[in-house]
Amino acid sequence: MWVIGTCVLALAIAWLGHWVYRWRNPKCNGVLPPGSLGLPLIGETLQLMLPGDSLDLVPFLKDRIQRYGTTFRTSVAGRAIIVSADPKFCHFVLQQHGKLFESWALDTFAKLFAQEGKASLNVTNVHKYIRGTVLKHFGVEALKERLLPLMEEVSQATITSWLGKESIDVKYATGTMAIEFSAKLLFSHDPTQSSKKLGDLFSSFVQGLLSIPLNIPGTIYHKCLKDRRKALSIIRRTVKDRLSSHGRLHDDFLCHVMQDMSKEEFLTEDFLVQLIFGLLFVTFDSVSTTLTLALMFLKENPRALQEINDEHESIIKQREISKSPITWKEYKSMPFTLQVIHESLRLGNISPGLFRRTKTDVEWNGYTIPAHWGVLIATSALHLNPETYKDPLTFNPWRWKEYDSDVMLKNFMPFGSGMKQCAGAEYTRALLSMFLHILVTKYRWTNVKKGNIRRNPILSLGDGLHIKIMDRSRNLFSPFGVISTLSVIKGSYSTPSPYKKKTSPIIRIEI
């Protein structure tokens, strides 16, 4: 009996040994990039989750780039992945999208977007439709024709509603502004009609994405899933109402997509709900984080604050009627503002990276990446590469004057690149610019509280950035006013707000 037992044990040990060997040395028709797949099953997931406490790269990336170079292999959540921070390779991967590479999202993240096991937004075969529709509603033409002044108006209303408050949590407040503005455009959402604020629900959802995926009551992840369901049900209610009334009386994104339902089979009720949810998600987190960082950097850099202020003052001065709404031409004449936005995006690295998967074996620089392996384009490492960006951790908006389009194409991709480049990029830049335009020309702010930066790998700001807003015209004559007398002497002080004071941040949009 013991002989059989010993044989079974020996076989089990041999099988396990072989399995571990196979795990560590996966099949490859060539040479794999350097690196390690870590422990069986969990790979190097735990190391990846080690947070950073500055704007710098997370320890996982920093250590491995130092040890193996800019392209290395690893394994996360049981998946073999090639991570790259090589500008040429990253550019190559993005340009080859659809040919050698395809979309891919890590499972835990994808599940949150997937509905009942169906494919997530990023991996559906309806990419072209989504891209085209989003560009139609949020792209350059829509901005030119109607969105720009609305953005100016919502920024004005939002900041006015902050006046008199002792402390404003910038990320939460700008996230709420961005999400309610987008929700209005997407499905004519009226925040006064919901007991739950979309801003609160998405804030909890984002926190859950950064937490350990443990779905038991009391955990952040559990609350995240619960609030995700609540946000989905707010959207679903509207979609259902519209479907039963055939979408009459509305002229928004949802209405236009519904008109295509008879032509496109994939446009089901579920699809519409998921699509709107996905678009609200990107709006909430990315826009608010970038704005929070921009405000933080500007406050820490008086010279940059003065320059952005001068840029916007000069736009107003050149107008025939100073109170006229912003024009496309004016928006396109804000080079320094764009530099501030670029620099905030570069240092913020909101998206941890771009995920792709090889469709076939791919040869690169003497290495082979086997078919169906994941590829993570570590945009954060590209953006903090000291060979491209001198003193990469310093906020230096002036650096952008030096870069030509080729440098930017391969080394700066906060919005991705190639076929899947962000369809909301111009919308984001415009919203940020309009907000900054209103803020610097009409208000002053002081920091009340600032949390510590943490990367997990997504950037967060601990307790957040809290500010107090003051109306510039009032502060000019206040004994405690912070407006610099210098700017008045220099003539950079603008006329008082051309907008009526609004008491609530609710958006008025007439479409």
Binding residue numbers for heme: 422
3-state secondary structure 69-82: CCEEEEEECCEEEE
Peptide bond into 457 cis (omega under 30): yes
- Among 83, 347, 423, 507, which residue interacts with ligand HEM (rule: CB under 6 A)? 423
Q: How far is the CB of 384 from ligand HEM (least distance, A)?
A: 16
**CA–CA dist 370, 73 (Å, integer):** 11
Q: Which of residues 354-413 bind ligand HEM (CB under 6 A)?
A: 354
In angstroms, what CA-CA distances link 389 with 53, 93, 347, 383, 403? Answer: 21, 22, 11, 8, 10
Q: Determine contact, residues 326/149, Cβ cutoff 8 Å.
A: yes
Under the criterion CB under 6 A, does residue 422 sit at the interface with ligand HEM?
A: yes
Name the residue nearer to ligand HEM (CB basis): 160 or 344. Answer: 344
- Determine the interface stretch with ligand HEM among 64-72, 123-131, 158-166, 308-316 (rule: CB under 6 A): 123-131
Binding mask 42-61 for ligand HEM (x = CB under 6 A): --------------------
Q: Which of residues 284-303 bind ligand HEM (CB under 6 A)?
A: 286-287, 290
Name the residue nearer to ligand HEM (CB basis): 131 or 144. Answer: 131
- Determine the interface stretch with ligand HEM among 7-15, 111-119, 258-266, 419-427 (rule: CB under 6 A): 419-427
Under the criterion CB under 6 A, does residue 170 sit at the interface with ligand HEM?
A: no
- Among 279, 296, 347, 469, which residue interacts with ligand HEM (rule: CB under 6 A)? 279
Closest chain position to ligand HEM (CB): 424
Q: List CB contacts of 501: < 8 A, sequence separation 6 or more.
A: 160
Four-residue CA torsion sign, 19, 20, 23, 24? negative
Cross-strand pairs, 469: 445
- Among 250, 299, 420, 502, which residue interacts with ligand HEM (rule: CB under 6 A)? 420
- Among 397, 424, 457, 464, which residue interacts with ligand HEM (rule: CB under 6 A)? 424
In angstroms, what CA-CA distances link 300 with 85, 159, 355, 365, 396? Answer: 29, 20, 34, 43, 11
Quick one: tokens of 30?
Answer: 């060539």
Name the residue nearer to ligand HEM (CB basis): 57 or 143. Answer: 143
Quick one: tokens of 271?
Answer: 């699809």
Under the criterion CB under 6 A, does residue 326 sit at the interface with ligand HEM?
A: no
- Among 143, 282, 376, 436, which residue interacts with ligand HEM (rule: CB under 6 A)? 282
Angle of helix 170-187 versus helix 148-162 axis, rounded to 10: 140
**CA–CA dist 164, 125 (Å, integer):** 49
- Determine the interface stretch with ligand HEM among 46-54, 242-250, 283-291, 477-485 (rule: CB under 6 A): 283-291
Under the criterion CB under 6 A, does residue 131 sit at the interface with ligand HEM?
A: yes
**CA–CA dist 111, 358 (Å, integer):** 21
Quick one: tokens of 485?
Answer: 């007398």
User: Rounded to a whole number, what is the distance in angstroms from the first to the last CA of the chain?
Assistant: 83
Q: How far is the CB of 8 from ligand HEM (least distance, A)?
A: 48
Q: How far is the CB of 502 from ligand HEM (least distance, A)?
A: 23
Annotated binding site: 422
Binding mask 9-28 for ligand HEM (x = CB under 6 A): --------------------
185 half-sphere exposure, CB direction, 13 A CA radius = 23
Name the residue nearer to ligand HEM (CB basis): 287 or 483. Answer: 287
Q: Which residues bind ligand HEM (CB under 6 A)?
A: 127, 130-131, 134, 138, 279, 282-283, 286-287, 290, 350-351, 354, 414-416, 420, 422-424, 427-428
